[in-house]
Structures are given as structure tokens and as C-alpha cells.
Amino acid sequence: MSANEFYSLQVNGKNMPVQDSWIGESLLYVLRERLGLPGTKGACEQGECGSCTVLMDGDAVCACLVMAATAVNSEITTVEGITSESALTDVQQSFVEEGAVQCGFCTPGLIVAVHHLLEKNPSPSELEVKEAISGNICRCTGYGRVFAAVEATIRSRNEVK
């Protein structure tokens, strides 16, 4: 298949046509600038910071390292697809309550990474949490508040059970 000026992506369960774009644009750029999904943040554009973390066919990846036009056969889930506009998810609620949000720029990427971790592994060890978010750089919190938020989410999910 040859994708030229027009192609479609499957984002958050919807078929989204991408129009009037340069074909070499990253998925990060396409999500933000072409598809009106600004939740995914752009910072380093070289895969180092994790602020653009999205799920691609169930794997957490950096959207800046995916050429959007090569993702035509993949299911993409952004932070908008994991969360809702009407209420916070338990992970988001824990981030707020534990003070894991300071400047907030890394938060969407961390929310995606933490949801992804807890879906695969509902009771991760401290080391597993550290490894799972090792690709998400936060320059404000020093990570202590983020680990506390992950622990709080796990605790609240266990209580519900």
C-alpha cells in the first residue's frame, strides 16, 4: 500500500482521516496539529522524555518516533481515549490527591504509562513501577509523588475488590 497525501488512522476507536499533511509527519504532530488531540505532549521529539506516550496496538510507544503514515494499520489510543472529559480516572484522581502533578507537562504521558502498566500488571513491585515509568521524564516531582500516586491507585483498586 502506498499512502500519499491522504490516509486514515484508527485513533481512540474512531476512523480519523488525515488531510493536508506532509506525509513524513510524526504521529505526535498529526495527533496534535491535524486531529485536534492536544493531550499528547511534545517536548524532546527524540524518544527521550515520554511526554508523547500513546498506546499503539496495546504497546506504550513514543508518538514522536512513529511516522504517522506508517501507522495506518494500527490501533492508536491517546490519553483522551483512556480518560474522559466528565470525570477523572482513578489514576488521575490519585495523581491529584498525592500531588504528583506540578507543572503538569509530563502528566499525560505518565497517565498513559501508568494505566498501561496496571492493565498488564495489577500489582507491580516498586522496581516494576520504576522500570515501567523509566521512559517518562518529570523534572518537577522527583518521582516520589508519582510513585505515591501509583501506590494509592493500586490500594484503591484492591479495596474495591
Partner 1 sequence: MTVIVAKELATALAALREHEDARVIQGGTDLMVEINFNHVKPTTIISLRDIASLRTIRQEVRGLLSIGSGVPYSIIEGEPVLSAIPALAQAARTVGSPQIRAAGSLGGNLGTCSPAGDTLPVMFALDAMIHLSTVDSTRVVSIHDFMTGVKRSIRQHDEIITSVDFPIVKGWQGYSKVGVRNAMVISVASACLVADHEHADVRIALGSVGPTIIRCRESEAWLKANQDLSAGAFISPQLAEEFGKRAAAESSPIDDHRSTAQYRRHAISVLASRLLRKAYP
CB of 118 to partner 1, least distance (A): 14
Q: Work out how close the CB of 97 gets to partner 1 at its nearest, in angstroms, rounded to a whole number.
A: 25
What are the DSSP calls for 79-138, one per residue? HHHHS-SSS--HHHHHHHHTT--SS-SSHHHHHHHHHHHHHH-SS--HHHHHHHTTT---
Q: How far is the CB of 72 from partner 1 (least distance, A)?
A: 6
Residue number with CB closer to partner 1 (50 or 108):
50
Q: Which residues bind partner 1 (CB under 8 A)?
A: 1-4, 22-24, 26, 45-48, 50, 53, 56, 59-62, 64-67, 69-74, 113, 131-132, 134-137
Nearer to partner 1, 42 or 152 (CB): 42
Please choose, from the candidates 151, 53, 137, 49, the residue with its C-alpha nearest in 3D space to the C-alpha of residue 95: 151
In the complex, what is the shortest distance from the CB of residue 160 to partner 1, in angstroms, rounded to a whole number? Answer: 26
| CA–CA separation, 150 and 26 (whole Å) | 30
Taking each helix axis from N to C end, the angle separating 90-97 and 107-120, rounded to the nearest 10 degrees, works out to 130
Q: Which is nearer to partner 1, 100 or 117 (CB)?
A: 117
